[in-house]
Amino acid sequence: MSKITAIIGNKGGTGKTTVSHMVCHGLGLLNKFSVSLLTDIHRDKVSKLGRNYLPFDARTEDGLEAAIKKLRLASDTWFGVIDGGGNRPEMDQRLAEVSDVVLLPFRDSHEDIRTVIRDLERFPNAFALPSQWPTNPWELKAANQMVHDLMKDHHDRILEPVFRLSAAKLLLQEEIPTHLPAQLNTACRQLALQIMMLLDMGLDNSNWKPLEIKLTPPSKQKKAS
């Protein structure tokens, strides 16, 4: 049976669609098969051309049901990644119920953090994913401090951030370029690995260790290594 990840959350513009394509692209780079399920009626379909994963239009009730059924019957070499849509609490509930893991992207604002805390409390299989995270060291320090202070009770459910990366928008194009920037590929691979780790270990695994939010932006990490 394939594993399903839902990228949801009540707040709009947090990066759900971008993260869903990043996960699929990263899985493709790791030689895994994945289907990206579009459920947001306000978004257009994207083409399979140039992609190392399969986009699927699940914007209708029947489309979504059929896709989930098919994924459940598929072998465990397949991954399903659902792109939710903002302000759809009932739909989010449904998507969380059919998924093995839920990701809740959030940006570095009090409003996003308030929303993500509410969503973490609603969905027991959910993890908060810092999204569009700042790379400027001062901004980054402030963002991490904010998370540290405001999400005290949820530190063990916060994933490594997806940093702000202008190339991320390339993944949302109808057709994507054959060669994508190395920094984007690295970010996608890291994100996909995090998800695979969460899916493999299951949510009750006592070996789970919360990931510490890195204080170093990706450019500095590269120079340091």
Ligand X SMILES: Nc1ncnc2c1ncn2[C@@H]1O[C@H](COP(=O)(O)OP(=O)(O)OP(=O)(O)O)[C@@H](O)[C@H]1O
Whether the CB-CB separation of 74 and 2 falls below 8 Å is answered with yes
How many angstroms separate the CA atoms of 72 and 1, rounded?
A: 5
Which of the listed partners (Mg ion, ligand X, none) does 165 bind, with a CB threshold of 5 to 8 Å by partner kind? ligand X
Q: Which is nearer to Mg ion, 16 or 107 (CB)?
A: 16
Residues of this chain that interact with Mg ion (CB under 5 A) are 16-17
46 binds ligand X (CB under 6 A): no
Contact map string, positions 117 to 146, toward ligand X, x by CB under 6 A: --------------xx--------------
Residue 12 contact among ligand X, Mg ion, none, beta carbon within 5 to 8 Å by kind? ligand X
Determine whether 178 is exposed, middle or buried from the number of CB atoms within 10 Å of its CB (0-12, 13-18, 19+).
Answer: exposed
Task: For residues 20 and 43, give the distance between their C-alpha atoms in angstroms, rounded to a whole number.
Answer: 13
Choose from Mg ion, ligand X, none: what does 119 bind? Cβ within 5-8 Å by kind. none
Query: E strands of 107-222, at which residues?
Result: 126-130
The distance of closest approach from Cβ of residue 22 to ligand X in the complex, given in angstroms and rounded to an integer, is 8
Q: 90, 72 in Cβ contact below 8 A?
A: no
Number of Cα atoms under 13 Å in the Cβ half of residue 78: 16
Residue 61, H or E segment: helix 61-73
The single residue among 2, 5, 14, 99 that binds ligand X, judged by CB under 6 A, is 14
Q: Is 3 in the site for ligand X (CB under 6 A)?
A: no
- Residues from 152 through 211 that contact ligand X (CB under 6 A): 162, 164-166, 168-169
- The binder of ligand X chosen from 3, 5, 40, 55 (CB under 6 A): 40
Q: Quick one: how far is CA 206 from the chain centroid?
A: 23
Of 14-22, 46-54, 116-124, 193-201, the segment contacting ligand X by CB under 6 A is: 14-22
Number of shown-chain residues binding ligand X (CB under 6 A): 18
For ligand X, the closer CB: 1 or 182: 182
Helix, strand, coil percent content, the chain, rounded in steps of 5: 45, 15, 40
> Can you give the binding site for ligand X, defined by CB under 6 A?
12-18, 40, 85-86, 131-132, 162, 164-166, 168-169
